[in-house]
Structure 1
Amino acid sequence: MKYLIQPRDRDYPISWNGIPALTIDHYLWLDNGYTPTVKAKLMYTSECIQLHYNIYEANPTILYHTMNEPVFKDSCVEFFFQPLPESDPRYLNFEMNAAGTLLLKLGSDRNDRTYLQDVDPALFLIHTSTGCYDSIADMPYWQLEISIPFNWIQAMFPDFRPEAGRTFRANFYKCGDETPLPHYGCWNRITSSVPDFHRSCDFGELEFG
Structure 2
Amino acid sequence: MSSLRVPKIDGNIVTLNYATLQQKLEMLPWNNLPNVNWPEEYPDKPIVNFQIAHSGESIFLHYVVDEDFVKAQYVRPNEAVWEDSCVEFFVSFDERKHYYNLEFNVLGTGLIGYGTEVKSERQRLRASLIETVQTVTSVVHTGGKKTWGIVLIIPVSVFTESSIARLDGVKAHANFYKCGDGLPKPHFISWSKIDYPTPNFHLPAFFGDVIFE
TM-score, normalised by the number of residues in structure 1? 0.88
Letter in 1 for 2:161: M
2:103: which partner in 1? 95
- Which residue of the other structure, out of 191, 198, 209, is the alignment partner of 2:195? 191
Q: CA deviation at 1:7?
A: 0.5
1:141 to 1:183, Cα distance in 2 relative to 1, 3 A: same
Q: Is 1:35 aligned with 2:41? A: no
Q: CA RMSD in A?
A: 2.1
2:79: which partner in 1? 69
Q: Is 1:149 aligned with 2:159? A: no
Q: Is 1:158 aligned with 2:163? A: yes
Supply the distance in 2 between the matched residues of 1:98 and 1:203 (Cα, whole angstroms). 24
- Are the equivalent residues in 2 in contact too, given 1:24–1:39 (CA < 8 A)? yes
Letter in 2 for 1:52: H
2:70: which partner in 1? 60
- Are the equivalent residues in 1 in contact too, given 2:69–2:184 (CA < 8 A)? no
- Are the equivalent residues in 1 in contact too, given 2:112–2:130 (CA < 8 A)? no
Q: What's the CA shift string for 1:139-196, capped at 9, x where partnerless?
A: 641001111112332x3211564123x3100000111111000111010000101111
Q: Is 1:128 aligned with 2:137? A: yes
Q: Is 1:46 aligned with 2:47? A: no
Supply the distance in 1 between the matched residues of 2:141 and 2:165 (Cα, whole angstroms). 36
1:132 to 1:43, Cα distance in 2 relative to 1, 3 A: farther
Letter in 1 for 2:163: P
Q: What's the CA shift string for 1:8-55, capped at 9, x where partnerless?
A: 133225411121111112112244542001111111112111100001
Structure 1, unpaired ranges of 5+:
none
Supply the distance in 1 between the matched residues of 2:65 and 2:43 (Cα, whole angstroms). 16
Q: What's the CA shift string for 1:121-140, capped at 9, x where partnerless?
A: 3311111111266x9xx964
Letter in 2 for 1:145: V
- Are the equivalent residues in 1 in contact too, given 2:37–2:195 (CA < 8 A)? no
After TM superposition, the structure 1 stretch with the greater mean CA deviation from structure 2, 138-147 or 109-118, is: 138-147
- Which residue of the other structure, out of 203, 207, 211, is the alignment partner of 1:203? 207
Supply the distance in 1 between the matched residues of 2:137 and 2:98 (Cα, whole angstroms). 28
Identity of aligned residues (%): 28
1:159 to 1:17, Cα distance in 2 relative to 1, 3 A: closer
Letter in 2 for 1:180: P
1:116: which partner in 2? 125
1:10: which partner in 2? 11
- Are the equivalent residues in 1 in contact too, given 2:84–2:181 (CA < 8 A)? yes
1:168 to 1:120, Cα distance in 2 relative to 1, 3 A: closer
TM-score, normalised by the number of residues in structure 2? 0.87
Supply the distance in 2 between the matched residues of 1:183 and 1:77 (Cα, whole angstroms). 11
- Are the equivalent residues in 2 in contact too, given 1:30–1:184 (CA < 8 A)? no
1:109 match: secondary structure:
coil
Q: CA deviation at 1:103?
A: 1.2
Q: CA deviation at 1:110?
A: 4.2
Supply the distance in 2 between the matched residues of 1:81 and 1:33 (Cα, whole angstroms). 26
